[in-house]
Structure 1
Amino acid sequence: MATREESAEVWYHRGQGLCSTGDYSKAIACYDKALELSPDDPLYWRRKGFALIRAGRYEEAAASFDRALALDPDDATAWQRKGYVLAHLGEHDSAVACCDRALMLDPEHILAWQSRGWVLGAMCRYDEAADCYEAILAIDPERVSAAWHRNRMRERSELTALASEIREAERAIEVPACIRDVARERDYGNAGLARAVLRELVGRAERAVVQRP
């Protein structure tokens, strides 16, 4: 019979304490001790994965989350954290799929929405990313950071659309330098206004061609 000093639970709580102080290497060693004694506990694998994330050991973290999910495939937090890790490893599509799985299990999992928004933003899928932050605000309207990120994603979407519209407009007009400057300088705040002005200029040019005798 295991003594208290060598029980898995004691090693787990010791790891938790070390995580709270930022000593992740020692925390990982404690989780390993806990897992030697209780290798089929998905919580221990998940917590080890979290400590590995904090230590920047992403491939090992992914393996830990895989073990956790093999034992408990309905753990939304493990899916979310696996997605976060895969994003750091450059596997963006798989990361989004993990976040989707987390949200299927728990539609109000704020960290899953947050991770999904972050990954989609990195993939330049700005409108979808903004929708993720909007979902967070539907759950927690007071979450200021989500509102900030939503607005940045919308601005980046506007800027991407502006660059595309400039290329299209060049077929019909000489695009003003001030509008080109907005795109070149990545002036997110004025992208929407620049798009509106550009559309008006193109519309005038098109109407002039139609009215020409």
Structure 2
Amino acid sequence: MKFGQITGILVIALFFCLVYPVAAANATRTDNATDFYNKGVTLLSSGDYGQAITFFDQALASNTSSIKVTGGLLYTYQGKSFAQIQMGMYNDSLLTLDQGLALYPNDSMLWNNKGYALFLLGKNQDALTAYDQAISLDRNDTNALINRGNVLSKMGRFQEAVDSFTAANQTDPGNSAAMAGLVKAQPAAAGSMHTTMIVVIVVLVVAAAGVIWYVKYHRPVEQKQPEKKEKGKKKNK
């Protein structure tokens, strides 16, 4: 299983831990938005992502006052974007996430999901920026730290990836995705450092040789001073 898939599972597991208590607590006073929202959550949990998106859209098209109060509106954007990512609808997911972030700019999960969608689109630098934003909002966001490590590895920035995976393992000791990331990134980081040292040494040797060559063959030639004629002396005939 790939790192991204593992992280996706972790994200959705966290999603349901947060969503179901909210939905259940308000089951006695449903309205259209709440009803659509609850159906969307149920379908999402069963892996029926297409239908989940349909019901989340219906919830958003309804009067969202009640689900906004309960926190369901935020989870609707989280759940819809996750379902779109699972279906390969990455650009659509980014639109959903931007709509959600317009209302909830400080939600680390929305930023994490945005980073994941960008990563899957191959936009690594933009993905890294989104993960950094998620972590700045929640330094204990294990999923964002793991995803950040994955994108840094993809970019060849292995030591930074090691640091990110290590931080993820500290927030969730023994996390399998964080440990798997470390297993791959640490040897690459060591190899990269070794290569860098070799390059530095070669550059220094070449530079030293250049200085020696210049000093030996390109020193300015000393000009001889013209001899001064001594006054008062006559030339012999």
* TM-score, with length taken from structure 2: 0.65
68, 84, 87: which one aligns with 1:55: 87
Deviation at 1:159, TM superposition (A): 3.1
For 1:96 and 1:157, locate their aligned partners in 2 and report how far apart those are by CA, in whole Å: 18
- Does residue 84 of structure 1 match 2:116? yes
Specify whether residues 144 and 46 from structure 1 end up closer, same or farther in structure 2 by C-alpha distance, changes over 3 A only: closer
Q: Distance in 2 between matches of 1:73 and 1:7?
A: 26
Higher relative contact order (Cα pairs below 8 Å, separated by 6+ residues) = 2
Corresponding position: 1:129 with 2:154: no
Match of 2:139 in 1: 107
- AA partner of residue 117 (structure 2): V
| Equivalent of 1:24 in 26, 49, 53 | 49
Q: Which amino acid aligns with 2:58?
A: K
Identity rate of aligned residues, in percent?
Answer: 32
**Which residue of structure 2 aligns with residue 35 of structure 1?**
60
Q: Compute the TM-score of the two structures, normalised by the length of structure 1.
A: 0.71
Tell me if structure 2 keeps the 8 A contact 1:46–1:65.
Answer: yes
Q: Which runs of 5+ in 1 are unaligned?
A: 172-213
**Closer, same or farther in 2 for the Cα pair 1:141/1:5, shift >3 Å?**
closer
Task: Give the corresponding residue for 1:15.
Answer: 40
Find the structure with the greater CA-based Rg.
Answer: 2
CA contact (8 A) 1:42 1:67 kept: no
The runs of 4+ residues in structure 1 deviating greater than 6 Å are: 166-171
